[in-house]
Amino acid sequence: MMVDAAWLRVERCVALVENSVALVNNEAISCKPILYRVAPSAARPPMVRRRRPKLLHAKLNEQAEAETLYRAVLAAKPIGWAGLGLARALAAQERFDEAQALLAGLLADNANLMAAYDLRARCHAMTGAPKLAQRALEEAVAISPHMVRRLRRLGEVALEAGDLAAAEKSFRQVVAKARHSEFRDPEDYVNLVNALIRKGDPAQAGAIIRDMEKSLRGNMHTEACKAVAKAMLFEATGNTGAVQGELHAAVLAIRSGAGLSGKLKLELARSCLTSKLDNEASEVMLSAINDVGSGVTIEQAMSVFVKAGRSDLADGAKLQVKVQTRDLLEMALQKTGAGDFKGAVFTLLEARHLSPGNLAVMIAAAGAILQQIDALGWDPQLAEHCANMLGTIRKLDAAHPELARLNGAYVAARRKYGMSA
pLDDT in tens, 7-47: 444 444 444 333 332 332 333 333 333 333 333 334 444 43
pLDDT in tens, 133-179: 999 999 999 999 888 999 999 999 999 999 999 999 999 999 999 88
pLDDT value at position 155?
Answer: 94
pLDDT value at position 129?
Answer: 92
Cα 213 to Cα 218: distance, rounded to the nearest angstrom = 8
pTM beyond cutoff 0.85:
no
Helix H segments across 275-358? Answer: 278-290, 298-307, 311-337, 341-354
- From the number of C-beta atoms within 10 Å of its C-beta (0-12, 13-18, 19+), residue 28 rates as buried
Name the nearest CA neighbour of 119 among 144, 101, 145: 101
For residues 348-363, one letter each, b for 16 or more C-beta atoms within 10 angstroms of the residue's C-beta and e for the rest, the string is bbbbbbbbeebeebbb
Cα 413 to Cα 372: distance, rounded to the nearest angstrom = 10
Cα 14 to Cα 11: distance, rounded to the nearest angstrom = 5
pLDDT in tens, 342-370: 999 999 999 998 888 899 999 999 999 99
Q: How confident is the model at residue 241 (pLDDT cuts 50, 70, 90)?
A: confident
Mean pLDDT of 218-232: 91
Encoded amino acid at 174, one letter: V
pLDDT value at position 97?
Answer: 93
Which of 141-145's residues contact partners 24+ apart within 8 Å by CB, and which partners?
141/170, 143/111, 143/112, 143/114, 144/114, 145/173
122 phi and psi angles, rounded to 5 deg: -65, -40
pLDDT in tens, 285-321: 999 988 878 888 888 889 999 999 999 999 999 999 9
Name the nearest CA neighbour of 9 among 37, 251, 19, 21: 37
pLDDT value at position 420?
Answer: 66
